[in-house]
Structure 1
Amino acid sequence: MSHPNRERADRILDAAGELLLRMGYRKVAIDDVARAVGIGKGTVYLHWRTKELVFQALMMRESADLTDELLTAIKADPAMILPHRMIPRSFLITQRRPLVMAMLRGNAEMFGSLGDLALKKQQDELRTRFEEAMLRCGLLRSDVPNLTYALKTATLGFYVGDTLSGDFEGIPLEEKADVLAHLIRTAFEPPGEPDPGAVAEVAAELSSALEELVSSYREGIYAHDPTRAPG
Structure 2
Amino acid sequence: MSHPNRERADRILDAAGELLLRMGYRKVAVDDIARAVGIGKGTVYLHWRNKELLFQALMLRESADSTDEILAGIKADPAMILPHRMIPASFLVTHRRPLVMAMLRGNAEMFGSMGDLALKKQQDELRTQFEETMLRHGLVRSDVPNLSFALNATTVGFYFGGTLTDEFDGITPEAKAEVLAYVIRTAFEPPGEPDPLAVAEVAAELSSALEALVSGYRKGIYAHDPTRAPG
Distance 2:124 2:14 in 1: 27
Letter of the 1:192 partner, please give it: G
> SS at 1:28's partner residue?
coil
Alignment of 1:220-231 (within 5 A): 220-225=220-225, 226-229=227-230
Identity of aligned residues (%): 81
Distance 1:169 1:201 in 2: 39
User: 2:173 corresponds to which residue?
Assistant: 173
- Larger deviation, residues 7-16 vs 111-120: 111-120
Contact 2:222 2:228 in 1 (8 A): no
Letter of the 1:185 partner, please give it: R
Q: Cα distance, 1:116 vs. partner?
A: 6.1
Distance 1:144 1:109 in 2: 32
Letter of the 1:3 partner, please give it: H
Give the CA RMSD over aligned residues. 1.3
Distance 2:221 2:119 in 1: 11
Residues 139-169 of structure 1 show CA distances to partners (whole Å, capped at 9, x for unaligned) of: 0000000101110111111101221111111
- Larger deviation, residues 195-204 vs 111-120: 111-120
User: 1:187 corresponds to which residue?
Assistant: 187
User: 2:36 corresponds to which residue?
Assistant: 36
Distance 2:136 2:20 in 1: 42
Q: Cα distance, 1:229 vs. partner?
A: 3.3
User: 2:13 corresponds to which residue?
Assistant: 13
> SS at 2:126's partner residue?
helix
Letter of the 2:195 partner, please give it: D
- Larger deviation, residues 161-170 vs 82-91: 161-170
- Larger deviation, residues 178-187 vs 122-131: 122-131
Name structure 2 gaps, 5 residues minimum: none
TM-score by length of 1: 0.96
1:91 aligns with 2:75: no
Q: Cα distance, 1:113 vs. partner?
A: 3.2
Distance 2:168 2:23 in 1: 26
User: 2:69 corresponds to which residue?
Assistant: 69
Name structure 1 gaps, 5 residues minimum: none
Number of residue pairs aligned between Structure 1 and Structure 2? 230
